Amino acid sequence: MNGTRVGYARCSTDEQDVVIQTEQLLTLGVPEDRIYIDRGFSGTTRRNRAGLDQALAAVWNGSVFTVTKFDRFARNMAEANEILTDLSGRGVLFGLGGSVYDWTDPFGRLFLQTLAMVAEFEANLGHMRTREGMALAKKNGKLKGKQPKLPEPARRSIRRRYAEGEVSLADLATEYSVGRSTIHRIIHGPETSRWSDHTPKLDVIFRPRSFSAPTAVPGFPDPDHVQGDPHRPLRRRAGRRDLGGRRCHVADAAARHVRQAERLANRSHPAGDRAAGHRGRPGSRRRGCGAGGDGLGPAGVPGLPA
């Protein structure tokens, strides 16, 4: 069958090579120009295996599709049965090492199906061991996900140099031997060091103050009532601030009226105030500013009670 064979070789990672498989296929009589190779692909799926697709397209009626080991061909029973059925329908035989098998023969079909079952079983065992090892590493804190391509000092340097306009994004990608998308994520992405695991997080809860109908002003918090209990008034202080940090203009206006009333009261009874020993607090009944006084207090000031 020299010259009628089409060979296929595969390795799971880019670090592996197919030198041994290629030499064995050449020994079996496969021409060098009819050996198709897939590098870095798993045998559990047919997806994206361009070498396998080319090898299946290169066979013809009466030729032999040849591999050195069955698991190099497939590790999935369903896909293996599908490919072998298609090859058999096109009159192509299946070569495993130095042996040739016919899919239409019951014994040949049984043997190939058994090999496919064993290959899938070995792949499933490998996946199970990998998941167990990852779970144990995650439990011990050794599995922290994919590490960044560049260390944090290099990332800070990239942000600083790009912000200062020293270099362009393409120059940084060439200098650090990474893709432009990686530099773009470093520059425009969040700075992970700013919110590290050692940074304390503050839980701030904002509780809005309630508004009461008699004294509330839209856009300002009610300075005279406490949240949840509107019947407990607070003493108004001149110049108090609202939740946004701005001065409350309503309180400022009231303070100005109070100061004006004090000045008028002091001009009216300077001697009486000194004799009484009062400080001139606005609205005090002791000064005679109320109904029982002499009527010369701040009763005439707008906005203040007589």
pLDDT the model gives residue 177? 84
The two tokens of residue 111 are 């043997």
User: Are residues 185 and 78 part of one domain?
Assistant: no
C-alpha angle 160/162/163, rounded to 5°?
Answer: 65
**Residue 176 lies in domain:** 152-195
> Do residues 228 and 250 make contact, with C-beta atoms less than 8 angstroms apart?
no
Per DSSP, which regions of the chain are E strands?
A: 5-11, 35-39, 64-67, 93-96, 99-101
DSSP secondary-structure letter at 161? H
pLDDT at 139 (0 to 100): 83
| Residues 127, 11 share a domain | yes
Cα–Cα dist 191/104, whole Å: 62
In 10 A of CB 18, how many CB atoms? 20
**Does residue 227 form part of some domain?**
no
SS3 153: helix
Least confident of 93-97, 194-198, 235-239, 258-262: 194-198
The answer on 125 and 75 residing in a single domain is: yes
pLDDT digits (tens, 9 = 90+) for 125-169: 998 998 888 888 888 877 666 677 788 888 888 988 888 888 888
Residue 17 · residue 11 · CB < 8 Å: yes
Specify if 141 maps to a domain. no
27 and 103 belong to one structural domain? yes
**pLDDT at 298 exceeding the cut of 90:** no
Residue 305 lies in a domain: no
Q: Is pTM, for the whole model, over 0.75? A: no
**Angle ∠(89,42,9) on CA atoms, nearest 5:** 60
Check: CB of residue 287 under 8 Å from CB of residue 273. Answer: yes
Statement to judge: residues 22 and 61 lie in one domain: yes
C-alpha closest to that of 281 among 247, 299, 258: 258
Domain membership flag for residue 222:
no
Whole-angstrom distance, CA of residue 75 vs CA of residue 117: 8
Do residue 116 and residue 164 come from a single domain? no
Answer whether residue 241 is part of any domain.
Answer: no
C-alpha–C-alpha distance, residues 124 and 285, integer Å: 93
One domain for residues 12 and 129 = yes
The amino acid sitting at 1 is: M
Is residue 213, in this structure, part of any structural domain at all?
A: no
Report residue 219's pLDDT band, with 50, 70 and 90 as the boundaries: low
Q: Are both 21 and 90 inside the same structural domain?
A: yes
Highest averaged pLDDT of the listed ranges 22-31, 179-188, 218-227, 246-255: 22-31
Number of domains in the chain: 3
Mean pLDDT computed over every residue of the chain: 75
Percent of the chain with pLDDT over 90: 33
Q: What percent of the chain has pLDDT over 70?
A: 65
User: What values do phi and psi take at 94, rounded to 5?
Assistant: -115, 125
Helices (H), the chain: 19-27, 50-58, 70-73, 77-89, 106-139, 152-163, 169-176, 180-188, 249-268, 270-276
Lowest mean pLDDT among 23-37, 55-69, 201-215, 261-275: 201-215
Q: Where among 89, 111, 136 does a domain terminate?
A: 136
Determine, yes or no, domain membership for 99: yes
Whether residue 76 is found in the same domain as residue 22: yes
Check whether 296 has a pLDDT greater than 80: no
The predicted-structure confidence for 102-124, as pLDDT tens digits, reads as follows 999 999 999 999 999 999 999 99
Residue 72: give its domain's CATH number.
3.40.50.1390
- Residue 195 CB contacts under 8 Å (≥ 6 apart), including other chains: none
**Do 48 and 128 belong together in one domain?**
yes
Give the pLDDT score at 218.
Answer: 52
- pLDDT band at 84; cut points 50, 70, 90: very high
**Residue 272 scores a pLDDT above 60:** no
45 and 76 in one domain?
yes
- Give the lowest-confidence range in 17-21, 189-193, 277-281: 277-281
Query: Domain for residue 242, yes or no?
Result: no
Would strands 64-67 and 93-96 be described as parallel, antiparallel, or unpaired? parallel
Q: Are residues 124 and 25 in the same domain?
A: yes
Predicted local distance difference test score (pLDDT) of residue 31: 93
CA–CA separation, 180 and 198 (whole Å):
31
How far apart CA 202 and CA 64 sit, in angstroms, is 70
Query: Would you say residue 58 has pLDDT above 80?
Result: yes
